A and B are shown apart, each in its own frame.
Chain A
Amino acid sequence: MHQAAIELIGINKSFGAVHANRDINLEVRRGTVHGIIGENGAGKSTLMSILYGFYQADSGEIRVNGEPTAIRTSNDAIAAGIGMVHQHFMLVENFSVLENVILGAEGAPLLKTSIAKARSELRRLESEYGLEVDPDAIVEELPVGLQQRVEILKALYRGAEILILDEPTGVLTPAEADHLFRILGQLKEQGKTVVLITHKLREIMAITDTVSVMRQGTMVATRRTTETTVEELAELMVGRRVLLRVVKDAAEAGAVKLSVKNLSVKDQRGVTMVDDVSFDLRAGEIVGIAGVAGNGQSELLETIAGSRHAASGTVILDGMPVDLTGAADPGELRRRGLAHVPEDRHHVGLVLAFEENQNAILGYHRQRRYLKGPLLNIEAILADAKDRIEKYDIRPADCRLKTANFSGGNQQKIVLAREMEQDPDVLIVGQPTRGVDVGAIEFIHKRLIAMRDAGKAVLLVSVELDEIRSLSDRILVMFDGRIVGERGSDASEGELGLLMAGVEQREAAE
């Protein structure tokens, strides 16, 4: 049998003027885990979409098991034995696991037969690969780690021999990620081939056999994982040397700027999302809140920013309480020196349909400098926008461009520039580098440190443990709405990982 499970030869794909994939050659060997890394927009997703039949290559050839194969739709890909686990799950949330697995592969007009077949098949997959999931559970009631398992089962049920995973660990705890890696290892042992798309270098080092690096639409290098280093891969990705570790001095914490006391928040269904949380944030320090997504960090952030109703507790900003009825005026909080970089820049922090300069005043559009009577002072707005584009190296440097047309990293810089340039006393930041490329991450981290060194209080919420560890002076870990531990910046990853997974302190020490 042919050694290569997939060969891509001379793949080209352009979208208008952008050459998303340029003469890509890639060989994925059977029975290996092959990592593909690259910054946002490097062309990883485009390449995999071509392989999975979402896009057609302009030129080039795809060979599966040595056979030239035309893949025009995802059905062709499935027929060729290629399965894909998407970054955003393609599951029907209110269907059961079984119903999701047979979706699109029902086979017969009556569901009974295919469900029975799927049930026995799932049992086999379960024992073979350690993919335990209750087949009758409703998907939306499963934790994300299990939902992902359903996606993998879907692909295997369709007979996938080659499995593509797109950023699979973004939503997982370290423990869940480890479990996923064990599953991938088992799949590999059974002779399946795994293609792993990620931007996390650590994962690449941990589980891949081979790694290919993409940059600006080209495949710049393929290495055996054992023969490369994290530093080399980072440099290949960005094209220059990257500081992976932020350099910073010890914090000089000053007066308490933000004080949260016994804060509890319930969501619309009445479920407690934030449970009796207390902490202080001082001038000149960065406090990081670590935790797996969905453990109350978002709600905590929104409540402090005044846009969520608190069930009980107080938040004191600079000696004055914040209105926690959920009807606080964010404008007033801004005037009191609170700047907020929201987690969801696409829907909250920015209006993507606006020109860049219109976003540069969002939330500050009532300031006198941006107004001439009831009219907007367009010249002042444009001047400020241009100034910030220069200061924060936002690219392209065009303040009339629609915000949607900026890359994720530059969009985030737009938000950060807006909030930081107001010279706030307290900056609360949610997921500052989500979907941001390595080069911009470096810049954003430096800026946050600079804010701290200028005596500002920074509250950082991130699901990226590396980010929390490298930026924070103090780390609070949230699990299930509660703060389950506080550690210094020297806390080990394992220690924090256990806290994030809800393992109690005493157990963790054992």
Chain B
Amino acid sequence: MSAPYAKLPAWADYGLIPLVNLVVAFIVAGLVVLLVGENPFRAAVILVEGAFGRGQGIAYTLYYATTFIFTGLSVAVAVHCGLFNIGTEGQAYIGGLGVAIVCLAFDSLLPWWLTFPLAILGAAAMGALWALIPAWLQARRGSHIVITTIMFNFIAASIMVYLLVGPLKPLASQAPQTRLFLDGGQLPKLNWLIELFGGKVRAAPFNVSFLLALFMAWLMWVLIWRTRLGYEMRTYGFSPKAARYAGISETRIIIVTMMISGALAGMMALNPTMGDQHNVAIDFVNGAGFVGIAVALMGRSHPLGIVLAAVLFGMLYQGGAELSFEMPNISRDMIVIIQGLVILFAGALEHMFRPSIQTLFATLSPKSAGLAVNGEGA
């Protein structure tokens, strides 16, 4: 039976729908703010100003965004191949081990611009290896990747705790973290970039890994839409049967995709470790892997969308911190609730408003809606 449906123009698909979702999320968040007895409009102003009002805020927002770009890309690459990698959290955590090994070994010998590429390789390799095991289990044994990657998050956390309270910890220290990296293991800040545009930055961890994140976003676009490998990934993602018909090896494509996904997750570790804290500490990922799922969903798995969504979540992190500082009734937990609402509406309920918006478009301007008729059956 033909099921005609209205197809939305690209700007509505990629712009309007996320915007509507976002607005609804903020309205509901506003009600929550009202509930605890604060003025939601003032809260919104503080949030936005805190994130974008001053150079300092912008630098922090972009610092958080860097982390989310990596994890968002990681999730999105797998999504294009029809795989749901929930293990970004663990892969990023293990990626930190790669950073630690490289930095602890070379920070006294090499300048940062030599350590950095090695650390990128180390982080990517560790993340990729951590994704390889679930990928192999999925490809060869049919163990569902959602289950195995969740499990691997816990295993990753346990391994890192063991290493950070044991072998990687300096002898005399009581903190579960590595020693501080020397200059060779510290990434230069990019705060001058913001000062170039007149912003003032006192001290913020915004660093060169942001540029790496943007480069990776571009690279992902090339990979997905311009390479043979990306073509095969998308084919498998849309239709495993068509992929088999086209001679695409299921085992190979799952493993390769997951390793790319894991590598991107691993690179996330560069930002908070070499870029900010200059050590690898316990729990440094702090949920960024899960935020990556929301970022990928909201960004519709497109690199540009992911960068924008990552900046949005960066804003929520940075502005949220300001908010809990300014408004005594709004605690850190409230910020988490607001973030949760954004994830809920923009991510999980992404399709909630789509039917009504499609209907609206179909009635308002049938021509611009570019009607499409499904080719199935009579």
Residues of A within 8 A of B (CB): 14-18, 20, 38-42, 44-46, 49, 86-87, 166-167, 197, 199, 305, 307, 329-332, 334, 340, 342, 344, 346-354, 358, 362-363, 365-366, 371, 374-376, 378, 402, 404-408, 410-411, 435
Contacts and interface: CB of A to CB of B under 8 A. Distances in A.
Interface of B: 1-2, 4-7, 222, 226-229, 231-232, 234-235, 238-239, 241-242, 244-247, 362, 366-367, 369-378
B378 A199 contact: yes
Contacts of B239: 347-348, 351-352
Nearest to A409: B375
Contacts of B235: 351, 354, 362
A97 B246 CA distance: 40
Given A307-B244, A358-B231, 20 more contacts: A16-B370, A17-B367, A17-B371, A18-B371, A45-B1, A45-B377, A49-B1, A87-B378, A197-B378, A331-B247, A332-B247, A349-B242, A351-B235, A354-B234, A374-B227, A376-B226, A404-B372, A407-B373, A408-B376, A408-B377
Contacts of A406: 375
Given A87-B1, A346-B376, A376-B226, A329 B247 contact: yes
B228 A376 contact: yes
A212 to B, nearest CB: 15
A107 to B, nearest CB: 29
Contacts of A353: 238
B372 A354 contact: no
A87 B246 contact: no
B220 to A, nearest CB: 14
A89 B235 CA distance: 30
A378 B374 CA distance: 26
Nearest to B246: A363
B228 A14 contact: no
A15 B378 contact: no
A15 B5 contact: yes
What 7 A-B pairs have minimum CB-CB distances, sorted nearest first?
A16-B371, A331-B247, A15-B4, A330-B247, A363-B246, A16-B366, A405-B372
5 contacts: A16-B4, A39-B378, A40-B377, A354-B235, A362-B245
Given A40-B377, A407-B375, A374 B228 contact: yes
Nearest to A54: B1
Nearest to A48: B1
Contacts of A366: 228, 247
B377 A348 contact: no
Nearest to B378: A40
B227 A376 contact: yes
Contacts of B366: 14, 16-17
A404 B231 contact: no
Contact of A410 (B226, B228, B247, B375): B375
Nearest to B247: A331
Given A16-B366, A362-B242, A363-B245, A404 B227 contact: no
Contact of B373 (A15, A342, A348): A15
B369 A404 contact: no
A178 to B, nearest CB: 22
B247 A334 contact: yes
A348 B6 contact: no
A87 B375 contact: no
Nearest to A374: B227
Contacts of A354: 234-235, 238
Identify the interface centre among B226, B372, B378: most chain A CB within 10 Å of its CB. Answer: B378
Contact of A365 (B232, B367, B369): B232
A16 B238 contact: no
Given A351-B238, A407-B375, A362 B228 contact: no
Contacts of B244: 307, 330, 348
Contacts of B228: 365-366, 371, 374-376
Contacts of A86: 1
Contact of A402 (B229, B241, B372): B372
Contacts of A376: 226-228, 231
A374 B178 CA distance: 40
Contacts of A17: 366-367, 369, 371
Contacts of A411: 375
Contacts of A363: 245-247
A365 B229 CA distance: 10
A405 B247 contact: no
Contacts of B377: 40, 45, 87, 167, 408, 435
Contacts of A166: 1
Nearest to A332: B247
A217 to B, nearest CB: 11
Identify the interface centre among A46, A334, A351, A404: most chain B CB within 10 Å of its CB. Answer: A351
A46 B4 CA distance: 9
A360 B375 CA distance: 17
A348 B236 CA distance: 11
Contacts of A402: 372
B247 A18 contact: no
B226 A15 contact: no
Contacts of B247: 329-332, 334, 363, 366
B6 A16 contact: yes
Identify the interface centre among A17, A87, A404: most chain B CB within 10 Å of its CB. Answer: A17
B372 A374 contact: no
A40 B377 CA distance: 7
A230 B235 CA distance: 43
Contact of A15 (B234, B367, B371): B371
A42 B2 CA distance: 10
Given A14-B366, A362-B242, A435-B378, A41 B1 contact: no
B241 A44 contact: no
A374 B229 contact: yes
B232 A435 contact: no
B248 to A, nearest CB: 9
Contacts of B231: 358, 365, 376
A411 B373 CA distance: 13
Contacts of A408: 375-377
A219 to B, nearest CB: 16
A379 B25 CA distance: 43
Contacts of A20: 2, 4
A348 B242 contact: yes
A41 B2 CA distance: 7
B158 to A, nearest CB: 37
A352 B242 CA distance: 10
B14 to A, nearest CB: 15
A16 B362 contact: yes
Given A404-B374, A410-B375, A350 B242 contact: yes
A351 B242 contact: yes
Contacts of A375: 222, 226-228
B378 A44 contact: yes
A406 B374 CA distance: 7
Contacts of B7: 405
Contacts of B1: 45, 49, 86-87, 166
A340 B242 CA distance: 12
A134 B232 CA distance: 48
Contacts of A362: 235, 242, 245-246
B226 A348 contact: no
A348 B245 contact: yes
A333 to B, nearest CB: 8
A199 B377 CA distance: 11
Contacts of B376: 346, 408, 435
Contacts of A346: 376
A152 B277 CA distance: 71
A370 to B, nearest CB: 8
A360 to B, nearest CB: 12
